[in-house]
Amino acid sequence: MDEITEVEPLEPFRRWLDEAWRGEPNAHAMSLATTTPDGRPSVRLVLLKEVDERGFVFYTNLESRKATELFANPHAALCFLWKSLDRQVRIEGVVELVGDAEADAYFATRPRDSQIGAWASDQSQPLASRTELERRVSEFSQRFGNEAVPRPPYWSGFRLIPQRIEFWQERPFRLHDRILFVREGEEWRRERLFP
């Protein structure tokens, strides 16, 4: 079992993520919790695309439900579950938009079909039929031809700046290990929690 001894959370997070990739096909999948404008919880899976000392980055259509909720209330939470390792990481913080250059650079690495899909989908809006989506994909494929597909102006990323990161490791008899890191200014306070 992995004992977390670090005084900051990013190194153990990277180590756990690297270990998860060996047994979990979607180790970068994370639940993203937001709230609706009237305070109702809303959760969905998104993919972690980058993690560094600035935070945890994911990308989306800025007109999607998740983005609308984040613009109304930038407080959000992430949760990673790696069942093959009996581990979970919970992260809470505030989101900010990534810069245009960062969003452009990431968008350029996406498969072409995913780039076309970003143009074709009015994410979270009602869709009359699958045929309509396929027609839009075809339309944008023809529009861009063999040219590079630019990032749509309504597509970008969010960075969750962590304020709390909790590591959970399953142990026998429900005597689990829970290590919590809380940001205090530029430093992290580390404490163990009862299971």
Q: Please write the tens of the pLDDT for every residue from 6-33.
A: 999 999 999 999 999 998 999 999 999 9
Out of 112, 174, 189, 192, the active site residue is 174
- Express each pLDDT in 105-148 by its tens digit: 999 999 999 999 999 999 999 999 999 999 999 999 999 999 99
Contact at 8 Å (CB) between 141 and 116?
A: yes
Return the SS3 of 141.
helix
Span 10-107+149-193: which CATH code? Answer: 2.30.110.10
Is residue 183 part of the annotated active site? The answer reads no
| pTM beyond cutoff 0.85 | yes
H or E segment at 14?
A: helix 10-21
- What DSSP assignment string belongs to 50-92? EEETTEEEEEEETTSHHHHHHHH--EEEEEEEEGGGTEEEEEE
Measured CA to CA, the distance from residue 48 to residue 186 in angstroms comes to: 23
Look up residue 26 and give its two tokens.
Answer: 């979607």
Residue pair 61/68 in contact (Cβ under 8 Å)? The answer is no
